[in-house]
């Protein structure tokens, strides 16, 4: 077989059922091999063509996030490869398993500044979980199989394969099972899989839980990546412990569950943040105490006398906040082991007073907004969509205010329904991620909640949606500019709208959507029409585009300013606060 045929056959063996990519000279042998494979196997591995390679990378990431399987992007050399740097870094930051296969100039031309040559290993090595430059064609098959192994195991992440054109054209023997020898990596994975909680550690954990009066679970994206959501839900319900989640952990617990306190952090719900302040025992599961959550580390959960930390990555333990008890290993197994220990030893605590306190927090500090405003409020639009979708739709977002509003006001009954760029905060993520998600969950309603600034970054993918007749619903909450930037400028820079006063705002999004083939493309600018139009939009058969002209001054609240604790949270005019807080200008050491 040719090297290209071998690579495509390994993709098939790994269960790949969709490829996202853009062609070019250095990748043509692989594209030809995909075409011939599909001819022989009845389009078993369709190749979805985006408008841009960045779109291909985010489609692969959206597919991976929505399915839990490895997403695959195939691009050409040079600019094709460099256009995927952002999705690779984004996937690394959010622990998303994707494979990016880049064409490369022939091995004899590497280093000569040949046409469309880029130093992919040097560029990607800093942002990927691993990079392979395949110069020995006899190791091609083993390398591709090993790339999938590395991408999906341990803490998932992106792996990049740089495949020179002569390696693609080489002919050799297909073995069907070969892998590279990576003893160090496999030893680490074996230790993780074998890591069990000793009885003494279980006893110590429950001894601390026994004396706690206000325990709280703090769940992150690692719960979803580690397929531990079911175990976490069972653990929470068995011992009746409330749960807060990070932005990436949304869906780890059903947001409609009485024990769910929803999202914590910089733009978390006020009641979630107050619960963190009030808890005396914090159980961090698959979360890393990042700056959006534990901005002022000494003030974060300062009343917790016992902090436990479960993670698959040993480097996360004590990296940001010191903990009293930790376990590094597979999360679901650890939670189930503790669950079994608690049941065996008939562990019971009456935390009804704490549960009532959390319920009071939910009622007294509920999310709210100006419901009497004559302008369309973005929260109202999301509430209406949520009323129709009932927490069962896949929601993707761009990055900005709309992202936070979606996190705050949508319900999520299951994991892998909430897809957003968390750690990197990459504008332009939402639309291509929705395309990938639709291929991953073909029978599920997929909605991209976007902003006018964010969607511009990859607006070319509107044509991808209609080209493949994907029933994706695209919402643009248009406030004519970079709303989150303007909010910060108002709060912390005395209203000096540097650059945001010149943000792009003349585009006719409806004409753009229609030009890209959307049969349903509607602008909503009257509050009285919201319920009717949203219903029409959601129920439209096929791709649909909705632009909503929202209140330009709508803000994201609550908000914890940089370097501040939750007690200093700004809740705005419509969410009840425990104390009156005014925005303070951040100092030079504090983050955006």
Q: What angle do CA 307, 311, 312 make, to 5 degrees?
A: 165
Which residue in this structure is represented by tokens 């068995």?
A: 238
User: Which residues, including other chains, have CB under 8 Å from residue 363's CB and lie 6 or more apart?
Assistant: none
Nearest alpha carbon to residue 453 among 479, 489, 421: 479
Task: Return the DSSP state at 164.
Answer: E
Name the catalytic one among 92, 248, 263, 484.
484
Q: Taking the mean position of all CA atoms in its chain, how far away is CA 315?
A: 21
Catalytic residue among 59, 92, 132, 165: 165
> Do the Cβ atoms of 285 and 259 come closer than 8 Å?
no
Cβ contacts of residue 562 below 8 Å, gap of 6+? 295, 586, 590, 591, 592
| DSSP letter assigned to residue 198 | -
Query: Is the Cα torsion angle 358, 364, 365, 371 positive or negative in sign?
Result: positive
Q: What is the 3-state secondary structure (H, E, C) of 1-21?
A: CEHHHHHHHHHHHCCCCCEEE
Backbone angles phi, psi at 407, to 5 degrees: -65, -35
Helices vs. strands in the chain: H and E counts, helices first:
23, 18
Q: How far is CA 295 from CA 185, 432, 591, in A?
A: 33, 30, 9
Which secondary-structure segment (H or E) carries 449? strand 446-451
Q: What is the 3-state secondary structure (H, E, C) of 227-246?
A: CCHHHHHHHHHHHCCCEEEC
Please say whether the beta carbons of 182 and 154 come within 8 A. Answer: no
**Beta bridge partner(s), residue 75:** 22, 102
Catalytic status, residue 582: no
Annotated catalytic residue 403: no
Measured CA to CA, the distance from residue 236 to residue 331 in angstroms comes to 14
115 annotated active-site: yes
Q: Phi first, then psi: give them for residue 334, nearest 5 degrees.
A: -65, -45
**Around Cβ 499, how many Cβ atoms within 10 Å?**
10
Catalytic residue check, 116: yes
Q: Which residues contact 490 (CB under 8 A, 6 or more apart)?
A: none
- Of 53, 117, 141, 149, which residue is the catalytic one? 53
Q: Which residue has the tokens 């000279």?
A: 25
Q: Give the whole-angstrom CA distance, residue 323 versus residue 175.
A: 48
Which candidate in 1, 9, 45, 116 is catalytic?
116
Alpha-carbon dihedral of residues 379, 436, 535, 547, nearest 10 degrees?
A: 60
53 is catalytic: yes
- CB burial readout 321-347, b (16+ within 10 A) else e: bebeebbbbbbbbbbbbbbebbeeeeb
Distance CA 453, CA 296 (A): 30
CB 96 within 8 A of CB 157: yes
Quick one: which of 411, 413, 472, 451 has its CA closest to 62?
A: 472
Question: What are the catalytic residues?
Answer: 53, 115-116, 165, 484
């Amino acid at each position: 077989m040719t090297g290209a045929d071998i690579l495509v056959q390994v993709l098939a063996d790994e269960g790949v059922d969709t490829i996202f990519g853009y062609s070019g000279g250095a990748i043509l042998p692989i594209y030809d091999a995909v075409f011939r494979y599909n001819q022989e196997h009845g389009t078993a591995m369709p190749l979805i063509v985006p408008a841009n390679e960045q779109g291909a990378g985010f489609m692969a990431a959206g597919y991976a996030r929505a399915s839990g399987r490895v997403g695959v992007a195939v691009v050409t050399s040079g600019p094709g490869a460099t256009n995927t740097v952002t999705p690779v870094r984004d996937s690394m930051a959010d622990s998303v398993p994707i494979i990016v296969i880049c064409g490369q100039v022939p091995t004899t031309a590497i280093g000569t500044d040949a046409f469309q040559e880029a130093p992919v290993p040097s560029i990607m090595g800093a942002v990927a979980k691993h990079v392979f430059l395949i110069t020995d064609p006899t190791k091609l098959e083993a390398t591709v199989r090993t790339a999938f192994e590395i991408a999906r195991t341990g803490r998932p992440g992106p792996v990049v394969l740089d495949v020179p054109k002569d390696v693609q054209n080489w002919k050799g023997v297909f073995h069907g099972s070969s892998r590279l020898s990576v003893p160090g990596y496999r030893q680490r994975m074996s230790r993780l899989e074998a890591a069990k909680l000793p009885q003494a550690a279980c006893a110590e954990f429950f001894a601390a839980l026994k004396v706690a009066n206000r325990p709280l679970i703090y769940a992150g994206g690692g719960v979803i990546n580690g397929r531990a959501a079911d175990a976490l839900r069972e653990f929470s319900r068995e011992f009746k412990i409330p749960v807060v989640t990070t932005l990436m952990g949304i869906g780890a617990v059903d947001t409609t569950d009485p024990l769910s306190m929803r999202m914590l952090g910089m733009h978390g719900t006020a009641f979630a943040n107050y619960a963190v302040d009030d808890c005396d025992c914090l159980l961090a599961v698959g979360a890393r105490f990042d700056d959006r959550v534990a901005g002022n580390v000494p003030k974060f959960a300062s009343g917790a006398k016992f902090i436990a930390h479960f993670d698959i990555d040993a480097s996360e333990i004590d990296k940001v906040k010191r903990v009293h008890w930790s376990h590094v290993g597979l999360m679901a197994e650890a939670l189930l082991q503790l669950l079994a220990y608690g049941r065996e030893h008939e562990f019971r605590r009456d935390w009804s007073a704490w549960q009532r306190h959390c319920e009071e927090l939910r009622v007294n500090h509920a999310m709210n907004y100006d419901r009497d405003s004559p302008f369309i409020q973005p929260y109202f639009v999301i509430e209406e969509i949520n009323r129709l979708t009932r927490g069962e739709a896949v929601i993707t977002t761009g990055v900005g205010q709309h992202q936070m509003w979606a996190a705050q006001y949508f319900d999520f009954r299951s994991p892998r329904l909430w897809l957003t760029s968390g750690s990197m905060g990459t504008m332009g993520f939402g639309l291509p991620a929705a395309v990938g998600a639709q291929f991953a969950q073909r029978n599920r309603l997929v909605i991209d909640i976007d902003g006018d600034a964010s969607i511009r970054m990859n607006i070319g993918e509107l044509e991808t949606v209609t080209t493949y007749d994907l029933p994706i619903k695209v919402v643009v909450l248009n406030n004519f500019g970079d709303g989150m930037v303007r909010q910060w400028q108002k709060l912390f820079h005395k209203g000096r709208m540097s650059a945001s006063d010149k943000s792009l705002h003349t585009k006719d999004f409806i004409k753009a959507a229609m030009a890209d083939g959307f049969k349903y493309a509607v602008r909503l600018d009257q509050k009285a029409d919201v319920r009717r139009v949203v219903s029409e939009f959601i129920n439209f058969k096929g791709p649909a585009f909705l632009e909503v002209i929202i209140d330009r001054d709508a803000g994201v609240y609550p908000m914890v300013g940089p370097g501040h604790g939750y007690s200093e949270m700004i809740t705005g005019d419509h969410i009840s606060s425990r104390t009156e807080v005014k925005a303070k200008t951040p100092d030079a050491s504090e983050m955006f």
